[in-house]
A and B are shown apart, each in its own frame.
Chain A
């Protein structure tokens, strides 16, 4: 499977879905889908790196924790991220998120994400890779 992301419909909110050759790649793609709720990830220049770590007892809770950690970093740093690199191991996630400060003119950010929910949450093998998805509240 080639790594990619997509959005899926959920009433007033938005579903983010990452598909990847491994679970870590699927988590990275889900994070790009999160960025894409705000702006086109390709518009984000890769200038600054932020380290993010989080942990949880199962894959699905870890996905929610991961997306919420990005929401938090975007909010307090007023940044957007265009690339994510993850290492996964034993309920722990270590990541580098690369991006730049929000520019209203260049990014035209559409809507801020309030948080990731547990709705339609799924982390599972799919085809010859992995799927990681949930709904985010905007």
Chain B
């Protein structure tokens, strides 16, 4: 991106002033190097979002932003229903409530290394991953309904986890006001065999070691020490969420003109929050959030089973679970007044600061854990939400490293076997049903996650707490 088109407000904050159809400016949080690497399409897409009705304050762009469809990936936008605000299926994305959860294990590197290979094989056998995989759980109509209403709470009620887990999930594990009746039969059918599956693409399950502590006090509050082993799970709402995205995107595209919306890009399709279609999508999207939360909860149960067999001493409580493709109703202070806003985060993580009432007691003084997935060869981060983040980007931070190279280019550059062997030589065991899938996800195809989180910290979006590096990676 050409930085001469931006106004630099501070080291890691840039503004694109509102011009033309834009109702608000775009605020971009990134280092100069990251801004220069960003596609010009990010500027174009963020400016388009800034032109949508009822948008409040600014369209915010995270340091890991890249060219998406409609919204940029890494885009945050809040809308006021009372001022004609809209909700956008494209602004949430196909993988509704895709997110990351992190489990402690109570183990250290020394415990894992003697059984690293067996653990990798057992996790790969136990966790359904990749195209065409099926979960062991089949949902009939009634159970599907209960899952879509209950989320992770439903999973816990069915024996997949404990009540203590729910404290460590956004919305306490259950998104309220979900409307399974607004979810198509096709979406439900797509999900019937997909509960407890990891998916493919950039989704993964990793066993990681805490290699650096950046903030001792917050690390202690989160229960993280150097040398600790954690499990990180990255996946979303599977076929159900994808189909809801597909269904409502089409309905919004077809209805746009009836709402008097002229869209610079069809992918920005949206509906007024006060319209029937807007309300319907909100109810369906909330059901998809519950599906994602239930799915990650079931995967957690499968992981715990594997550890119980191989490493019976392990204890795997949840550190936290975050979603990074959502639209949520939140209270934010705008020009000194609290307002109810519908905050879209597309490839961005909610990052509540210390003292936020949504946080569980044990985490309230430290702020919300923000889980950042890197590539399989580099590392991941645990950050903490900050008080300043509230006044920056509606309490939001980045979500991952972000790709720097297309899948096509990655395939031309690396072979799957080569990637697996190179990582094995560095002590990282990769297990995947697809060699091509591994090549497309090669670590070199991603931006440097450290640069992204440094920019997030410099911009005041979140604070670095710990760096994690993979020992085992299960790829879909």
Contact = CB atoms under 8 A, between A and B. Distances in A.
A9 interface: yes
B201 A112 contact: yes
Interface string B425-467: 0000000011111001000000000000000000000000000
Interface string A52-79: 0000010001001100100110011010
B245 A114 contact: yes
Given A108-B435, A110-B434, A75 B39 contact: no
A114 B190 contact: no
B69 interface: yes
A75 B409 CA distance: 26
A72 to B, nearest CB: 6
Interface string B249-282: 1100110000000000111010000000000000
A111 B41 CA distance: 25
B353 interface: no
Interface range on chain A: under 10, 10 to 19, 20 to 34, or 35 or more?
Answer: 35 or more
A118 B434 contact: no
A119 B250 contact: no
Contact of B433 (A13, A61, A104, A118): A104
Contact of A75 (B95, B190, B433, B437): B190
Contacts, number: 130
A111 B201 contact: yes
Contacts of A71: 242, 246
Nearest to A8: B408
B344 interface: no
A79 to B, nearest CB: 9
Nearest to B409: A9
B435 to A, nearest CB: 6
Contacts of B226: none
A11 interface: yes
B130 interface: yes
A123 interface: no
Interface in B347-378: none
A38 interface: yes
A102 B148 CA distance: 28
Interface string A19-61: 0000000000000000000100000000000000000010001
A14 interface: yes
B66 interface: yes
Interface in B57-88: 66-70, 73
B331 interface: no
B436 A12 contact: no
Given A61-B253, A65-B250, A110 B267 contact: no
A13 to B, nearest CB: 7
B69 A118 contact: yes
A11 B250 contact: no
Contacts of A135: 69
B407 interface: yes
Contact of A11 (B39, B132, B199): B39
Nearest to A37: B407
Given A7-B408, A76-B189, A121-B266, A64 B131 contact: no
A129 interface: no
Interface string B220-253: 0000000000000000000100110110011001
A137 B236 CA distance: 14
A125 interface: no
Contact of B132 (A7, A64, A102): A102
A101 B134 CA distance: 13
Contacts of A75: 190, 239, 242
A115 B409 contact: no
A22 B130 CA distance: 35
A104 B130 contact: yes
B246 A115 contact: yes
A115 B245 contact: yes
A11 to B, nearest CB: 4
Given A72-B243, A110-B437, A121-B266, A78 B132 contact: yes
26 contacts: A7-B408, A8-B408, A9-B408, A12-B402, A12-B403, A12-B406, A13-B407, A14-B406, A68-B246, A71-B242, A75-B190, A104-B434, A108-B435, A109-B200, A110-B200, A110-B437, A111-B434, A111-B476, A112-B131, A112-B201, A112-B476, A114-B242, A115-B249, A118-B69, A118-B249, A118-B265
Interface of A: 7-14, 38, 57, 61, 64-65, 68, 71-72, 75-76, 78, 101-102, 104, 108-112, 114-119, 121, 135, 137-138
